[in-house]
Homo-oligomer: A and B are copies of this chain.
Amino acid sequence: MELTEIKEKIKNFKIEVPSWGFGKSGTRFHAFHIPGEARNVYEKIDDAAFVNKITDSVSAVAIHIPWDKVEDYKALKEYAEEKGLKIGAVNPNYFEDEDYLFGSLSNSNLKIRQKAIDQTFECIEIMKQTDSKILSMWIPDGSNYPGQIDFNKSFELLEDSLKQITRHLEKDMTMLLEYKFFEPAFYSTLLFDWGTSYMLSKELGENVKVLVDLGHHSQGTNIEFIVSLLSQKKKLGGFHFNSRKYADDDLTVGSLNPYELFLIFVELNKFFDLSAESQNQKISLVLDQSHNVKPKIPAVVQPLNNLQITYAKSLLVDYEKLKQAQENHDVIEAEEILKEAYETDVREILREVRKEKGLPEDTVKYVKESEEYWKMVKEREEF
C-alpha cells in the first residue's frame, strides 16, 4: 500500500470510546480514587470530546444503562453532537440490579426475566432517541456452583429472551452478543465463548452478530483465528479493545502482547476497511478498559495511539506476497513478511498524519502538559 493511502486510512480510522472509561473503576478489592474522574455522563462526554479534539479519532461514545441514565436522551445526543460526537453502542447492564442475583435474561423466575427484557426494550428506546445503531449485549448469566442452574433451561430462556428483543430492533440496528470465559459467574457462563455467541447469532438472524472482547478468552486461545473465522462467516460484529495478562484484566489495549493485536488487525484487513467512512456500522470498534491505576483521559489517549500504531503496521503487510509464501508453504518467509511490517517504526507516519490534521504530534505527552486538562482535574477535585 502506498504511504499516501496508508495516511489517508489512518486519518479516517476512528474508535468508539466508552463513557465508563472516564469514571471511577476498580477491582473487587477497592476502587481507588484517581484525580479527574468524570462524575456523570455529561462529564464523560466532555472528556471524550477533549480526547477527540487532540486525536481526531473518536467515532462515538458508548453508553452504559443505567449508569448513564438521563431524563432526556435527545438532549444528551445533542450535547454530544455539540461537542462533535455521536452516541455509540448502548450497553444494557444485567449485573447490578439486586433482582439479578440468579440471572437476568435467563432467570427461571419469569418476572425477573421480564424485567431484564423490558430493561432491554428501554435501551432500544434510548437507541432510537440517541440515534444509536448498536445494542451491545454482555449477559453475565451463569452459575457459581454445580447444580445451581439447569443449563438447558437457562440457555433456552436466554435464547427466547433474545428472540423477543431481536424482534424489537429496527432494521438498521444490530445486536452484538459478547461472550466471556468466566466472571462474575465462576462455575458456568451461558455465553462463555465465541461458539455460544455464534450459535445464538445464527438462530437469531442477520442483524445479530458476535462481539470479541480481547480479555474474554481462556489462556492460550488464538484470538486472531476466531476473528478470521467469524469474519468469514459474516458474524463478526465488533470489538472491545483491551489487554490482559491472565483473566479479564481490562488493561490498556496494546500494553501486553502487541504482536497479537497486530495479528488480529492483519485478519481484519482481509475483510474490513477499518477507515471510518466505509466501515460505519459494519464493525463496531470500541475501547473497553478499566483504568485502575491510570488517570482516565491519558488512559484513553494512550490506547488510541497504540491502536493507530497497530493499524498502520497492519496496513504495511504485503498481503499478496504473504499469500504467495503460504501457497509455497514457506513458513519462514510468511513469518518474515509479517515481521517486515511489524518491525517498521510507523510513528513518523502518525506524526505526519497529525501534523497534516493540525493535531499535537505526541498526544500522550500533550495531555500531560495541557493546561486545559489540569484545570479540569483541579476543578473536579475541588468539589
A interface with B by C-beta (< 8 Å): 26-30, 32-34, 95-96, 98, 101-102, 108-109, 140, 143-153, 155-156, 181-184, 186-189, 192-196, 198-199, 202, 218-222, 224-225, 228-229, 231-233, 244-247, 249, 251-252, 255-260, 263, 267, 270, 292-295, 298-299, 302, 309, 322-323, 325-327, 329, 331-338, 343-347, 364, 368
Contact in complex: B149, A326 (CB < 8 Å): yes
Residues of B within 8 Å of A256, CB to CB, are: 146, 187, 259
Docked pose: A212 CA to B28 CA in angstroms: 21
Docked pose: A329 CA to B153 CA in angstroms: 13
Q: Report if A96-B147 is in contact (Cβ < 8 Å); known contacts: A187-B251, A194-B195, A332-B294.
A: no
Q: Tell me the number of copies of this protein.
A: 4
Residues of B within 8 Å of A148, CB to CB, are: 293, 326, 331, 334-335
Residues of B within 8 Å of A26, CB to CB, are: 28
Contact in complex: A155, B246 (CB < 8 Å): no
The smallest C-beta distance from A115 to any residue of chain B, in angstroms, reads 15
Residue of B nearest to A348 (CB): B345
Contact in complex: A222, B192 (CB < 8 Å): yes
Closest 5 CB pairs of A and B: A195-B195, A147-B334, A219-B219, A220-B246, A186-B249
The smallest C-beta distance from A128 to any residue of chain B, in angstroms, reads 28
Contact in complex: A220, B245 (CB < 8 Å): yes
Q: Report if A102-B329 is in contact (Cβ < 8 Å); known contacts: A29-B95, A245-B186.
A: yes
Contact in complex: B151, A228 (CB < 8 Å): yes
Contact in complex: A147, B222 (CB < 8 Å): no
Residues of B within 8 Å of A257, CB to CB, are: 257, 259-260
Residues of B within 8 Å of A146, CB to CB, are: 224, 255-256, 259, 263, 334-335, 338
Residue of B nearest to A247 (CB): B247
Contact in complex: B219, A220 (CB < 8 Å): yes
The smallest C-beta distance from A264 to any residue of chain B, in angstroms, reads 11
Contact in complex: B182, A247 (CB < 8 Å): yes
Residues of B within 8 Å of A192, CB to CB, are: 222, 225
